[in-house]
């Protein structure tokens, strides 16, 4: 009988972290004390201290399996009260399973098996530019455990804390480390995300290719990366050629206009720098819906091509999710949670030459074919249907090629962009969120947005315009978006807005070759006329006398 129970237990414990059966829950209780200690080079020492408590006298826990997704691990050690345990490592696709065999399994009701599994990994902490990101994935079905305590230690020399989510139970500084403590209740539906450093500084080089196929010259415009309050500062170093005119639209985009001659091509090069600042909110302190300015409700709660605000399905979802007892951010979080749990990211999207944008309503019909645009469109549709202003952001996102932080807008030539939404809370202002990365990583991208999102455009009044940098393209093989982290410690950023900076470059667009020839010919004729008038007046008199 015991052998039969051992076999069942083996199957149950293999899926303990992601259980597919309630068998283990009925026969055992589990407790976890987990420690993540990050060292200065970014390596993490991870310790799982696990206790399995027998709930029945005739069941013996002989094996345990810990499964880890998308994590390369090494230096694996297993120990219990009898010494070193045998730990078998199995790698299948993107999952690493550690199968540990207990040396001396405890027998009897309420008896405890305590053991440790220790390993190292470089997938927890990574440095992006000047910022360290420390992310611990979400644990599935955590509610089946009795206890799950997590301690995260991060070196102080990583820099000041930009944010930690969820908010830890306690924080202290010890032995030159920040020490954060979390418990099961904080981690039931999310992993741990955190960033350290002052801010992220980068340099960009953006090319815009404009083409005029008509027989008349026309005016075309391009969108320059905007500044965003408390989130993004931009510096324009040079725009070549100079724009004919610049304007700011109602969404806050800075648009540079160019006269493109007939049957010609014009390429614009923008170089500059940007500073990305992390932000974090507490939804519990959000504002009241009644305090949202009327002009924002009028502009940003309506229907558009990809935002099916007035459809019956979207209206029903919004009605079911909206709670008039909650504030704006809490209701927006209801929409965010719904989107992240309803849609499934299409892993083939980044490799496709063209990903069709389907809109929020279509995403509901085929949730497994979703990319960042569908996550964004569905969130905006639902939030707008709640009466909360929402907009779309397109731009560049740094993901270190991590599979769980995908980029979906393939612009050819090796350029990949990302889409994410923002909503308006009268207490916080515009708050950017990323339901795509929240869904694929299991991390919190609602209460905070990291310093890895660089916005190129805001789409609010129109779901299709303006186009982001990288989309103004003639040659499909050329890379038009180049971003690199700045190594310059000098601060070149000014207090001028992006629009004020752009206006300084309006010195008149440089003339084309044909315009230059016309100017030369005109000048020659003028000089000839002056020569005749001043030096050969008799020729003028002869002309008039003849007449």
Residue with token string 């995403």: 363
The confidence band for 427, taking pLDDT boundaries of 50, 70 and 90, is very high
Buried-state track 429-449, b at ≥16 Cβ within 10 A, e below 16: ebbbbbbbbbbbbbbbbbbbb
Q: pLDDT tens-digit profile of 288-344?
A: 999 999 999 999 999 999 999 999 999 999 999 999 999 999 999 999 999 999 999
For residues 45 and 22, the answer to whether their CB atoms sit within 8 Å is no
Q: pLDDT tens-digit profile of 432-455?
A: 999 999 998 888 899 988 788 999
Q: Is residue 456 part of a domain?
A: no
Tell me how far apart the alpha carbons of residues 444 and 191 are, in angstroms, rounded to a whole number. Answer: 7
Q: Is residue 7 part of a domain?
A: no
Burial of 193 (0-12, 13-18, 19+ CB in 10 A): buried
Same domain? 414 vs 534: no
Same domain? 66 vs 148: yes
Same domain? 27 vs 108: yes
**Helix (H, G, I), strand (E, B), or coil: what is residue 316?**
helix
Q: Is residue 18 part of a domain?
A: no
* Residue 289: other Cβ atoms inside 10 A: 18
Same domain? 289 vs 435: yes
What is the arithmetic mean of pLDDT over 189-204?
88
Residue that finishes a domain, picked among 169, 196, 223: 196
**Domain hosting residue 263, numbered range:** 199-278+471-509
CA nearest 249: which of 456, 450, 52, 461? Answer: 461
Same domain? 186 vs 211: no
How many structural domains comprise the chain? 4
Same domain? 157 vs 59: yes
For residues 460 and 392, the answer to whether their CB atoms sit within 8 Å is yes
- Altogether, the residues listed in the chain come to a count of 547
Same domain? 132 vs 81: yes
Residue that finishes a domain, picked among 131, 165, 196: 196
171: its two tokens? 């924080």
Residue that finishes a domain, picked among 146, 171, 196: 196
Instruction: Enter the pTM of the model.
Output: 0.72
For residues 123 and 441, the answer to whether their CB atoms sit within 8 Å is no
Which CATH number characterizes residue 42's domain? 2.60.40.1730
Give the pLDDT of residue 129: 81
Q: Is residue 1 part of a domain?
A: no
Tell me how far apart the alpha carbons of residues 288 and 277 are, in angstroms, rounded to a whole number. Answer: 26
What is the arithmetic mean of pLDDT over 145-167?
91
Q: pLDDT tens-digit profile of 382-398?
A: 999 999 999 999 999 88
Same domain? 296 vs 414: yes
Q: Is residue 393 part of a domain?
A: yes
Give the pLDDT of residue 9: 36
Same domain? 295 vs 419: yes
What residues have CB less than 8 Å from 344, skipping those under 6 apart?
367, 368, 370, 439
Q: pLDDT tens-digit profile of 254-290?
A: 999 999 999 999 999 999 999 998 888 999 999 999 9
Same domain? 64 vs 120: yes
The confidence band for 515, taking pLDDT boundaries of 50, 70 and 90, is low
Tell me how far apart the alpha carbons of residues 415 and 480 are, in angstroms, rounded to a whole number. Answer: 7
For residues 65 and 99, the answer to whether their CB atoms sit within 8 Å is yes
Which CATH number characterizes residue 338's domain? 3.10.620.30
Same domain? 497 vs 376: no
Rg, C-alpha atoms of the chain: 30
Q: Is residue 99 part of a domain?
A: yes
Same domain? 414 vs 492: no
What is the arithmetic mean of pLDDT over 114-143?
89
Q: Is residue 455 part of a domain?
A: no
Q: Is residue 13 part of a domain?
A: no
Burial of 422 (0-12, 13-18, 19+ CB in 10 A): buried
């Amino acid at each position: 009988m015991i052998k039969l129970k051992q076999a069942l237990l083996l199957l149950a414990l293999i899926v303990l972290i992601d259980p597919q059966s309630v068998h283990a829950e009925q026969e055992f209780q589990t407790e976890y004390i987990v420690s993540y200690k990050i060292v200065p080079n970014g390596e993490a020492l991870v310790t799982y201290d696990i206790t399995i408590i027998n709930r029945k006298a005739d069941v013996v826990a002989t094996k345990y399996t810990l499964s880890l997704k998308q994590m390369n691990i090494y230096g694996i050690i297993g120990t219990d009260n009898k010494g070193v345990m045998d730990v078998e490592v199995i790698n299948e696709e993107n999952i690493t399973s550690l199968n540990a065999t207990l040396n001396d399994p405890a027998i009897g009701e309420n008896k405890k098996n305590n053991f440790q599994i220790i390993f190292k990994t470089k997938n927890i902490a990574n440095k992006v530019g000047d910022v360290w990101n420390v992310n611990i994935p979400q644990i599935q079905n955590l509610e089946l455990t009795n206890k799950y305590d997590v301690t995260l230690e991060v070196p102080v020399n990583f820099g000041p804390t930009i944010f930690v989510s969820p908010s830890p139970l306690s924080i202290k500084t010890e032995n030159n480390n920040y020490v954060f403590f979390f418990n099961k209740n904080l981690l039931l539906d999310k992993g741990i995300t955190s960033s350290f450093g002052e801010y992220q500084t980068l340099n960009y080089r953006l090319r815009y290719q404009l083409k005029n196929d008509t027989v008349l010259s026309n005016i075309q415009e391009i969108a320059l990366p905007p500044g965003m309050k408390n989130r993004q500062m931009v510096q324009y170093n040079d725009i070549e050629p100079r724009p004919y005119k610049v304007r700011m639209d109602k969404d806050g985009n800075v648009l540079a206009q160019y006269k493109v001659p007939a049957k010609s091509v014009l390429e614009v090069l923008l170089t500059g720098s940007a500073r990305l600042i992390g932000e974090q909110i507490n939804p519990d302190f959000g504002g009241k819906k009644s305090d949202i300015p009327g002009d924002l409700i009028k502009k940003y709660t309506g229907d558009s091509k990809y935002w099916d605000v007035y459809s019956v399905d979207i209206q029903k979802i919004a009605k079911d999710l909206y709670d008039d007892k909650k504030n704006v951010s809490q209701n927006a979080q209801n929409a965010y949670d719904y989107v992240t749990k309803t849609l499934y990211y299409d892993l083939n999207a980044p490799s496709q030459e063209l990903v069709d944008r389907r809109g929020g309503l279509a995403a509901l019909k085929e949730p497994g074919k979703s990319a960042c645009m569908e996550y964004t469109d569905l969130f905006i549709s639902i939030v707008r249907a709640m009466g909360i202003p929402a907009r779309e952001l397109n731009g560049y996102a740094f993901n270190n090629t991590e599979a769980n932080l995908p980029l979906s807008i393939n612009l050819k030539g090796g350029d990949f962009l990302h889409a994410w939404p923002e909503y308006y809370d009268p207490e916080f202002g515009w708050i950017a969120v990323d339901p795509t990365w929240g869904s694929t990583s299991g991390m919190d991208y609602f209460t905070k947005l990291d310093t890895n999102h660089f916005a190129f455009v805001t789409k609010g009044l129109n779901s299709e315009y303006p186009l982001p940098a990288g989309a103004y393209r003639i040659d499909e093989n050329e890379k038009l978006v180049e971003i690199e982290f700045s190594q310059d410690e000098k601060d070149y950023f000014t207090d001028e807005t992006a629009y004020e900076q752009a206006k300084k470059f309006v010195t008149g667009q440089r003339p084309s070759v044909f315009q230059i020839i016309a100017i030369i010919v005109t000048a020659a004729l003028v000089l000839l006329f002056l020569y005749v008038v001043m030096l050969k007046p008799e020729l003028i008199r002869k002309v008039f006398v003849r007449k």
